Chains A and B, each alone.
Chain A
């Protein structure tokens, strides 16, 4: 990732330190001196084992907690410069919590998606436009908009909840385990919607997860946390070229990566960095062909 004040960087954590209940006997250090940049138009994954500080980062980005040290910069400005305006920041940095379907409460899906935009004080016309638009991005059909959110299936509920956040048109979209409990189809629908939103609004997307396979598939950059410290960060390709470090951080490397590691032990080097099946199949096919040619020659 690049320099802190680069205009590409939408939101930046600058030497952020955070502890719960600071100065009391219950003090619990959660993050230590974290510096991270999240680029516009890119998906950044934050990976880490339970208790690594991932959820704390989410709370900091959304202004739900204030760092004890360091700053959170949105477009180069400290989000806590004026604490009274922190509510406005929450509209600009949208947060999709884990199992967001549990936050649905309105009588209709439409009303629920409008909740955020209404709180922003937008006019009805604009709200309506946004509802239709984010419902379309998330694949919530028009006919479902007037149904009760509680009548929808699990996957539909989750999409409606995410649409509710997208309708606020946040410049940064933070998602905590967005695919938890979904089957492969449901998962690809959700990630598809997130990518589409990112492209349409040039947003910066941050995905928090412990599934390295999802990261491998959808992220551009990855940051790995371990016990409140930044263990690794950089482009996806660079991260997966050091699988040993991921394992050290208590993460599961994608199965295909560990397969490549096993092949390497056996003297077959697939590539410097392996994380998708298609890519591995390509590389192996090339190896096989090369060997065939060598034999024929």
Chain B
């Protein structure tokens, strides 16, 4: 009865984006996001969309998988689009007028741009932070980024160790929950029946043993870590050091070209947009 939960949505294939150095990953993702907000012309938005597609292609994560994360924000996307279309006001001649609604061409274009921006941001941040990297990789990367800043090193180390252990214990605690749930069910606990009060009461039958077991685990883990000479981040080394590879710089170059292209394309207007 093993519970296998893959945290996040890591898609296990080999690609230059999967093997990207953690620090570089965070850096280029930031470039991407900033540029997504810098975009203001139709041409640069086209560039944004195109570049996002290129990234997905490089990652070798199927397009359909990425679409899943976009589907999740479809409602938000729709609402922003409608808001932008209907609440845009301008002195210009409206394209369409009915009752209190006035639609402007510019409003529609702006709404469209916003939709592209949100879609691209969600798709690419999921791609960079979830599909091509595990949460543990991300945790390590954050720690590595702050490594050179001395006064931040220790708190960031503690934080990332905490995250790391939390992630490590999710399958264990899921198994615990399952076991306790089974045990209480066979004593007649029923979480789906009865009044709200009865249900809360039944929940305590699950929660208390779960807390007790978690605390016990935490306690034993702390002792085990201490016995393995853990004493914080001070003087600690790592077996896997992060290394920049040639392909990392190719990816970086790609992002720099994209950033430059966005800046340049912002000054070029197509049909005035």
Q: Which residues of A contact B (CB under 8 A)?
A: 20, 55, 59, 62, 64, 87, 90-91, 94-95, 97, 100, 102-105, 115-116, 119-120, 150, 164-165, 168
Q: How far is the CA of A12 from the CA of B205 in the complex (A)?
A: 31
The reply to whether the CB of B232 lies closer than 8 angstroms to some CB of chain A is: no
Q: Is the CB of B187 within 8 A of A168?
A: yes
Identify which of B184, B186, B204, B212 gathers the most chain A CB atoms within 10 Å of its CB: B186
Q: Which listed residue, A90, A100, A102, touches B212 by the CB 8 Å rule? A: A102
Q: How far is the CA of A193 from the CA of B187 in the complex (A)?
A: 19
Q: How far is the CA of A119 from the CA of B208 in the complex (A)?
A: 18
Known: A20-B1, A64-B182, A119-B188. 6 other contacts (CB 8 A): A62-B186, A90-B185, A97-B186, A100-B183, A165-B186, A165-B187
The reply to whether the CB of B213 lies closer than 8 angstroms to some CB of chain A is: yes
| B209 CB to nearest A CB, Å | 5
Whether A97 contacts B183 in the complex (CB less than 8 A), given A91-B188, A102-B212, comes out as yes
Q: Which listed residue, A90, A103, A116, A165, touches B209 by the CB 8 Å rule? A: A103
| A243 CB to nearest B CB, Å | 31
The reply to whether the CB of B24 lies closer than 8 angstroms to some CB of chain A is: no
Identify which of A90, A150, A165 gathers the most chain B CB atoms within 10 Å of its CB: A90
List A contacts of B204 (CB < 8 A). 105
Q: How far is the CA of A168 from the CA of B209 in the complex (A)?
A: 20
Q: How far is the CA of A152 from the CA of B99 in the complex (A)?
A: 75
List A contacts of B205 (CB < 8 A). 105, 115
Q: How far is the CA of A91 from the CA of B182 in the complex (A)?
A: 13
Q: How far is the CA of A120 from the CA of B188 in the complex (A)?
A: 7
| A242 CB to nearest B CB, Å | 31
List A contacts of B212 (CB < 8 A). 102, 105, 150
The reply to whether the CB of B126 lies closer than 8 angstroms to some CB of chain A is: no
Q: Is the CB of B188 within 8 A of A102?
A: no
Whether A103 contacts B187 in the complex (CB less than 8 A), given A97-B182, A150-B212, comes out as yes
Q: Is the CB of B213 within 8 A of A102?
A: yes
The reply to whether the CB of B47 lies closer than 8 angstroms to some CB of chain A is: no
Q: How far is the CA of A264 from the CA of B136 in the complex (A)?
A: 58
Q: How far is the CA of A104 from the CA of B185 in the complex (A)?
A: 13
Nearest opposing residue in chain B for A55, CB measure: B1
The reply to whether the CB of B168 lies closer than 8 angstroms to some CB of chain A is: no
| B220 CB to nearest A CB, Å | 14
Nearest opposing residue in chain A for B202, CB measure: A119
The reply to whether the CB of B226 lies closer than 8 angstroms to some CB of chain A is: no
The reply to whether the CB of B180 lies closer than 8 angstroms to some CB of chain A is: yes
| B198 CB to nearest A CB, Å | 10
Q: Is the CB of B183 within 8 A of A103?
A: yes
Q: Which listed residue, B186, B187, B209, B213, touches A64 by the CB 8 Å rule? A: B186
Which residues 165-208 in B have Cβ within 8 Å of A in the complex? 179-180, 182-190, 204-205, 208
Q: How far is the CA of A168 from the CA of B185 in the complex (A)?
A: 13
Which residues 115-168 in B have Cβ within 8 Å of A in the complex? none
| A170 CB to nearest B CB, Å | 10
Q: Which listed residue, B185, B187, B190, B213, touches A115 by the CB 8 Å rule? A: B187
Q: Is the CB of A87 within 8 A of B190?
A: yes
Q: How far is the CA of A20 from the CA of B180 in the complex (A)?
A: 20
Whether A90 contacts B183 in the complex (CB less than 8 A), given A102-B213, A115-B205, comes out as no
List A contacts of B1 (CB < 8 A). 20, 55
Q: How far is the CA of A119 from the CA of B202 in the complex (A)?
A: 10
List B contacts of A97 (CB < 8 A). 179, 182-183, 186
Q: Is the CB of B213 within 8 A of A164?
A: no
List A contacts of B213 (CB < 8 A). 102
Nearest opposing residue in chain A for B182, CB measure: A64
Whether A105 contacts B186 in the complex (CB less than 8 A), given A55-B1, A97-B179, comes out as no
Nearest opposing residue in chain A for B193, CB measure: A87
Whether A90 contacts B186 in the complex (CB less than 8 A), given A102-B209, A105-B209, comes out as yes
List A contacts of B180 (CB < 8 A). 102-103
Mark interface residues in B205-227 (1 if CB within 8 Å of A CB, else 0). Answer: 10011001100000000000000
List B contacts of A168 (CB < 8 A). 187-188
Q: How far is the CA of A150 from the CA of B216 in the complex (A)?
A: 12
| A284 CB to nearest B CB, Å | 45
Identify which of A87, A103, A104, A119 gathers the most chain B CB atoms within 10 Å of its CB: A103
Nearest opposing residue in chain A for B208, CB measure: A105
List B contacts of A87 (CB < 8 A). 188, 190
What are the 10 tightest A-B residue pairs by CB atom distance, in nearest-first order?
A119-B188, A105-B208, A103-B183, A95-B186, A116-B187, A97-B183, A90-B186, A105-B209, A62-B186, A105-B205
Q: Is the CB of B187 within 8 A of A164?
A: yes
Q: How far is the CA of A116 from the CA of B213 in the complex (A)?
A: 21
Which residues 58-83 in B have Cβ within 8 Å of A in the complex? none
Q: How far is the CA of A101 from the CA of B189 in the complex (A)?
A: 17
Q: How far is the CA of A164 from the CA of B187 in the complex (A)?
A: 8
Q: How far is the CA of A94 from the CA of B186 in the complex (A)?
A: 7
